[in-house]
Amino acid sequence: MGDEALFWEDSWDGHPPILSSFPQLQTLCHIFTNARWVTVEHFKTVKRVGQLEVTCWKDIQEWPVGGLEEDRAVLAKTLESRFCSSICEQDVLAWNPSPKGKFTVAQGYAMLDGNQHGPNIVNWWKKVWHNLSWPKCNFFLWLLVQNKCLTWENLHKRGFHGPSICLLCSKNEECTSHLFFYCPYSREIWHRWWEAWR
C-alpha cells in the first residue's frame, strides 16, 4: 500500500475497495472527500506507546463531522479488521496472482483461461515427463491429465455418435474422471494396486 492509495476506490490492502464492499457508505465518502480525506494516509495517525511510535487508524472522534452514525460505525468496524501499515512509500502497480507482483504472459493467459494454479495444484508436467517410465506410458498419462483421452464424452465433442454410458459399470456417463477414478471397477483396481504396493 503506497501513500497515495485512494481510501474509498482502491484495493489498498488486498480486500475489495471500501465503496464496492459497502455501497451504502457513498454519502460518508462524499463528506470525507469534501474534507480532503481522500487517501489511506489521511485515515492514519502515529501514537506514542511508551517509547514506541505505533501507526494506527485515527479515532472516530477525529473524523470529519457528518453522515449517519450507522455508516460511521460500519466504517469504524471495517477499519478495525484491516491492517494499518506504517510503511509510507510510492505507489506501485502489482500483479496480484504473482507472489512477486510481476506480470507474466503465462499467468495472464491462465487468468483468462480460468486455469489458475492454486497452492494445492500439482505441477503435472514435471510429474509426467520427468520420470523414468516408458514414453508411451508418459504420453498416455499426459493425455489423462489434460482430459484428452478418447472417452465417449470427448468423442461426442468431436462429433462421434455412440453410447455415452460407461462400458464397465453401465451406470454413469463415460468421462475421464469416471473411467479412471469413480467407476466401481476402476476403484477396485486402484485398491488392489495400493494393497500390492503397501
- Per-residue model confidence (pLDDT) at position 39: 85
Torsion sign over Cα 37, 42, 44, 45: negative
Q: In this predicted model, what pLDDT tens digit does every residue of 51-83 receive, in sequence order? A: 777 778 888 888 888 889 999 899 888 888 877
Instruction: Give the contacts of 18 (CB within 8 A, at least 6 positions apart).
Output: 7, 8, 25, 29, 75, 78
Q: Is 123 in contact with 137 (CB distance < 8 Å)?
A: no
Q: In this predicted model, what pLDDT tens digit does every residue of 158-176 receive, in sequence order? A: 888 888 888 888 888 898 8
Torsion sign over Cα 64, 68, 69, 71: negative
| Cell of residue 64, nine digits | 470529519
| Cell of residue 174, nine digits | 463415460
Q: Is 77 in contact with 22 (CB distance < 8 Å)?
A: no
3-state secondary structure the chain: CCCCCECCCCCCCCCCCHHHHCHHHHHHHHHHHHCCCCEHHHHEEEEEECCEEEEEECCHHHCCCCCCHHHHHHHHHHHHCCCCCCCCCCCCCCCCCCCCCCCCHHHHHHHHHCCCCCCCCCCHHHHHHCCCCCHHHHHHHHHHHCCCCCCHHHHHHCCCCCCCECCCCCCCECCHHHHHHHCHHHHHHHHHHHHHHC
- What is the identity of the amino acid at 12? W
| Cell of residue 11, nine digits | 484495493
pLDDT by residue for the chain (198 residues), tens only, comes to: 555 778 888 887 777 888 888 889 999 889 988 998 888 888 888 887 777 777 788 888 888 888 899 998 998 888 888 777 665 555 566 777 777 778 788 777 777 766 554 545 556 666 667 767 788 888 888 888 888 888 888 888 888 888 888 888 888 889 888 888 889 998 888 888 888 877
- Per-residue model confidence (pLDDT) at position 196: 85
- Per-residue model confidence (pLDDT) at position 3: 59
Question: Which residues lie across from 186 on neighbouring strands?
Answer: none
- Per-residue model confidence (pLDDT) at position 19: 87
- Per-residue model confidence (pLDDT) at position 89: 55
Q: How far apart are CA 173 and CA 151, in angstroms?
A: 9
